[in-house]
Chain A
């Protein structure tokens, strides 16, 4: 059974800092990996999706990497802003459709 762990559980950084969120998974036989953002009381917004054959994906200030052999993914956020404050969830696709989620990292970016 796939298990997904996200560290740290919570993170507070001052505005402008670069930061890295970590995700680890136990079964390296994955189809894809997706990073989501969730604001309080809201649904999930897809940020980046990495196929199993890819090593990284970039969108604006976000960069996600994938190392299947070590069972790890990172989400890098450059020049953080208060609007980045949210919970970030990592989800591993073990088959073509089924996602297993981590418990998330709650990020707060302070002024």
Chain B
């Protein structure tokens, strides 16, 4: 079974430029999460989707961040414009609530460096 796929793995951009990250969850997992992990810290949730609906985006900085999950499968997270403080690893995870466990499976992440 393929795991969570993310691309790109690495991205270096100048501040004020836009950037987008893509995630393909595990097949059949209808819950999708985006997390941000700063250096030396644990991941923090940015947004959670149930199918195509964003059910928790309270931690998403909506002035510059946006996300979408078309057809309830793949998802894209966008930052525009990027700031120096956005440098972090952006992780995507998915889960299948049908088991009742809500165990989350993570992708390899996208390491963003803003210069």
Contacts and interface: CB of A to CB of B under 8 A. Distances in A.
A98 B105 contact: no
B102 A46 contact: no
Counting chain A residues whose Cβ lies within 8 A of the other chain, the interface size class is 20 to 34
Name, among A32, A89, A99, A103, the residue most crowded by chain B CB atoms within 10 Å (CB to CB).
A99
A96 interface: yes
A103 B108 contact: no
Contacts of B109: 42-43
Name, among B31, B95, B106, B108, the residue most crowded by chain A CB atoms within 10 Å (CB to CB).
B106
Interface in A11-47: 31-32, 34, 36, 41-46
A97 B97 contact: yes
A49 interface: yes
B99 to A, nearest CB: 10
Interface in B1-48: 4, 6, 31, 33, 40-45, 48
Contacts of B31: 97
A102 B41 CA distance: 8
B72 interface: no
Interface string B83-115: 000000001010101000111111111010000
Contacts of B53: none
A32 B43 contact: no
A93 B108 contact: no
Classify the secondary structure of A's interface with B.
Answer: strand
Nearest to B6: A43
Given A97-B97, A98-B56, A43 B41 contact: no
B91 A103 contact: no
Nearest to A101: B42
A31 B48 CA distance: 17
A104 B44 CA distance: 13
23 contacts: A41-B111, A42-B109, A43-B6, A43-B106, A43-B107, A43-B108, A44-B91, A44-B93, A45-B106, A46-B103, A46-B106, A49-B103, A91-B42, A91-B104, A93-B102, A96-B97, A96-B102, A97-B95, A98-B56, A99-B104, A101-B41, A103-B40, A104-B42
